[in-house]
Every structure is written in structure tokens, then in C-alpha cells.
Structure 1
Amino acid sequence: MTANTLLAWTPAAIVFDCDGTLMDSERHWEKAREVVLGHHGSAPDPEFAQATKGLHYTECGRMLAEYAGAPALAEQMTEQLLASFRQLVADDPVTMPGATELVRKAAAFAPLAVASNCPRDVVEAGLSRAGLLRYFGHVLVPEGEVRPKPYPDVYLEAARRCGAAPGDALAVEDSHCGFVSASRAGLRVLAVGPRRPLHNAADAAYAGEIPPVDLWVASLADPDLVKWADTRRP
């Protein structure tokens, strides 16, 4: 599917990532990682920051511990990471540009879900404070047998609960980890944010796997994207 074709298509469901896509909270994860590493006498470099973007917080905790040269402290650093992030989000819950308008428009023509690697309480509290939670019929996070991104589980389950085949659903994502997850699940992918190579040293965990992105926009306020949402019909 080309970009032009995507903007002529009406998905049967839309599944949004949360951090960095709907909520301006990816910067909080970055800050939380800095805080935790600082407590252990280290600081993240740009490559490490990119490599951990979008990952489940437990995987981030493990990587933080290894980066700090203290792998035995993975559990402790994971707890510190999550505590720091929760506090930062509570202090500054802000939506990404265009997120509120696009979600409101999209809810008029398709069932919506959220697929996130964050804990459920963090996702739901942030979306609720932003006035967005009411638009989503389902919030999928890694729980029980549902594995975190880059596994496809959250996207597969989100599409299923929305009553859509994966190939008829659209994923809205901002991270390579999320692109891989949605692509593995069979969803079309709308990428949001600064364009960067889809495969580099920071993506070593997905070596050889370059997921397709059907359309890339700088933000959810992109005029063509807004026009597309305005012209869809249920």
C-alpha cells in the first residue's frame, strides 16, 4: 500500500501507541532513564537512548543495569525507572500535537484501541487526564500471555477486540519497536515523528528486520492526515 493509497483507505479499526504518539511522555522515559543511570554513576549516550525507545519497561531496566555495569541490579533499576516515570507523567501530562483532534475525528468512523508497553494504570491515567480515554474501546498492555512489543501480541489482540482483521486495521506508532510489533501483526503502519533510518545500530535487537511503513508524517497535525480523517465515513 502506497502513501496515496493509504489516504484513500478507511481502516476497520485504528490502534494507537501511547507514549510519543498520543501523549508527550517519551521525553519522560528519557528523563527517567537519565535519573536512574545518574543514581548509579552513569549517563545514557544518544545510541542507548534510541535503542531503548518504545521497549517494555522491564527490558529497559535490564538494559539500564547492563549499561551501568551492574546487571544484578536489573530489578531494582526497573523499579526506580517506573517510579521516576510515574512521577514525571503525573507532574506533566501533555498530548502530542494533533493527537486530540485526530482521535476525536477517527472515533467518528472507526473503533479505536490503544496498544502500549506501559503499565495499564499509567496509560489510562494519562489518557484520562488528557480527556482521550473515553474515545478508546480497548487498552491493550502486556498482561498475562500478552507479550510486549516488539512481539505482535498487543496489536493482534487490539484488532481482534475491535472486530477487525489485522490487515484491515491501522497502527499509529512512533518507534521502531512499535513498527516491528504492528508489522508482525499484519497491520498497516502510520509512522509519526522525525523520520530516521528504519535500521541502524540502535535497532540491533531486530537485525535484518525492516518493517514497512505505509505513511510517515511529522505529527498527527499533518494537514493531509487531518483532511483524510475529515473525509472518512463509517
Structure 2
Amino acid sequence: MTAQRILSWTPAAIVFDCDGTLMDTEIHWQDARIHALREYGFTPAPGFAERAKGLHYSECGLLMATEAGRPELGEEMTGRLLAHFRALVDDNPVTMPGARELVEDAARFAPLAVASNCPREVVESCLGTAGLLRHFGHVVVPDGAIRPKPHPDVYLAAARLCGAEPAETLAVEDSHVGIQAAERAGMRIMGVGPWPGDRTVALVDLWVRSLDEPEVRGWADTRVPAQLSRGSAPVQEIGLP
């Protein structure tokens, strides 16, 4: 990792993932998968949660059906998965530690967008309930022309809408699938969450356990004056263990 590529830099735009990055919804996805599978008499196989993390919900539904040995139920399971997830989120929308503070600070010095594999109405409902939606100029989700993560499309579209080049854009992500998408888009990446292993960490510039880590808070607090002098000094790259 080259942490100073983030910590000594002011991005032209910041694009956040939603699930597990801004909103604490991963437990809802896990519960929704379990509920949906149990409706059909199946239980998740070992390691299923990790294999499903970050996938577009339609791909997750197909994965569920395939691992249950009933691939023909993919579309049906996808519908049940999404229904369970929406109900769980409506009951308990929770922001991740430090997410609110970082978004509020970042909105003072850069245009913000969300790039998510979730349906738009789910993302906007979550962020709206949390009081964060107003800080984002754009919410980008897969559609007919934009492929889901790990394709780079949602990140490329978000940077374009923010008026920034991908190389001048920061992606904030928690999943390997999302990090792959941001890396393929050519962005600098801040990864967040429990240590995911070397394979994932090798793709990011900085990994933090949560967005309320002191180095993240300090970086955000000093960006406004740094914005005035962007480009006045070369970026120092320091390899950190």
C-alpha cells in the first residue's frame, strides 16, 4: 500500500460504496440470504457469505440458487432476497462508524457520488433515512448500459458525472468486488473494514478499520486548505506494511 497517495492528496471527487461502507447493511444482506434460502428448504454452505459479499443482488440470487442445486430458481430467489433485505433495512438503517462525519467533511471540498450494486431506490432510501443523501450529487447503480461491480462502469460513470478524471477520484470501498471495480476504473482507493487479506489489500492505497480512524479524520479535516494549493507539491509515496 502507498498510504500517502491518499493522505497527502486532495481528490477532485470522491465516490463511496454504500453497503458496508456508508451503511451498516451487510448483516441485513446476510440475514436476507438466510431467510430466502430457508424459504426453499436450504441452508447456506460454509463460506457462502464471503462469496456473496459485494455481488449485484441478481448475481447473488443466482449464486444462491446454484449453490442450492436449483439454478432454475435464480430469478425467484432474487426477488425473495430483495424483499427480505428491504424489510430489514426499513426496520434498522444504521450508518457505519465515522461515515456521517467523513461525508459531511468531504462535501465541503469535493463533489460526492455513490456507486452501488444495490437498486437505486434501496440506496436512496437508506441514505435518505440516515440524512446523508443530500450530500451526494449522484447515485450510480447498474442498468442496461452500466454493468455491476466488479466491472468498472459504476465508478467510471460516477467520476464522469462529478466532472473528474478517474485518476483524480478517490473510491471508498469495503468489498473485494467493489475494490476490483474501482481499481479497474483507475482510481485511488481507500479500503475500510476488518483486514480482508493480502489479495484485497494489494489493490488499495490505504486500508483502515473504520472511517472514524484518526488518520481518516485528520485527512478530511485538513483538505479544505489543501484544496487551495492542489498540485503545488508532488505526492510523496511511502510503502507501508
Question: For residue 214 of structure 2, what is the aligned residue in structure 1?
Answer: 223
Q: Take 2:45 and 2:213, find their aligned partners in 1: how far apart are those partners?
A: 31
List 4+ stretches of structure 1 deviating above 6 A: none
Percent identical across equivalent pairs?
62
Change beyond 3 A, Cα 1:12–1:151: same
Could you say which structure has the greater relative contact order, defined with CA pairs below 8 angstroms and 6 or more residues apart?
2
Question: For residue 207 of structure 1, what is the aligned residue in structure 2?
Answer: none
Q: Name whichever of 40-49 and 76-85 sits farther off.
A: 40-49
Question: For residue 183 of structure 1, what is the aligned residue in structure 2?
Answer: 183
1:138 aligned onto 2:129? no
List gaps (5 residues or longer) in structure 2: 228-241
Q: Could you tell me which amino acid in structure 2 is paired with residue 183 of structure 1?
A: E
Question: Secondary structure of 1:226's partner?
Answer: helix
Alignment of 1:40-79 (within 5 A): 40-79=40-79
Alignment of 1:1-234 (within 5 A): 2-199=2-199, 212-233=203-224, 234=227
Q: Could you tell me which amino acid in structure 2 is paired with residue 221 of structure 1?
A: D
Deviations 1:148-202 (A, max 9, x none): 00000000000001011000000000000000000000111100000122549xx
Q: Could you tell me which amino acid in structure 2 is paired with residue 95 of structure 1?
A: T
Question: Secondary structure of 1:19's partner?
Answer: coil
Deviations 1:68-108 (A, max 9, x none): 11111111000000000000000000100000000000000
CA contact (8 A) 1:189 1:214 kept: yes
Cα RMSD, aligned residues only: 1.3
Give the drift of 1:211.
5.8
Question: For residue 205 of structure 1, what is the aligned residue in structure 2?
Answer: none
Question: Secondary structure of 2:73's partner?
Answer: helix
Q: Take 1:45 and 1:230, find their aligned partners in 2: how far apart are those partners?
A: 44
Q: Take 2:126 and 2:61, find their aligned partners in 1: how far apart are those partners?
A: 22
Q: Name whichever of 103-112 and 3-12 sits farther off.
A: 3-12
CA contact (8 A) 2:64 2:74 kept: yes
List gaps (5 residues or longer) in structure 1: 201-209
CA contact (8 A) 2:17 2:172 kept: yes
TM-score by length of 2: 0.90
Task: Pick the structure with greater CA Rg.
Answer: 2
CA contact (8 A) 2:5 2:188 kept: no
Number of residue pairs the alignment of both structures matches: 225
Q: Take 2:202 and 2:46, find their aligned partners in 1: how far apart are those partners?
A: 22
Give the drift of 1:46.
4.3
Q: Could you tell me which amino acid in structure 1 is paired with residue 217 of structure 2?
A: V
Give the drift of 1:45.
3.5
CA contact (8 A) 1:183 1:211 kept: no
Q: Could you tell me which amino acid in structure 2 is paired with residue 19 of structure 1?
A: D
Q: Take 1:144 and 1:68, find their aligned partners in 2: how far apart are those partners?
A: 28
Deviations 1:39-77 (A, max 9, x none): 122222441110110100000000000111111111100
CA contact (8 A) 1:179 1:211 kept: no
Q: Could you tell me which amino acid in structure 1 is paired with residue 116 of structure 2?
A: S
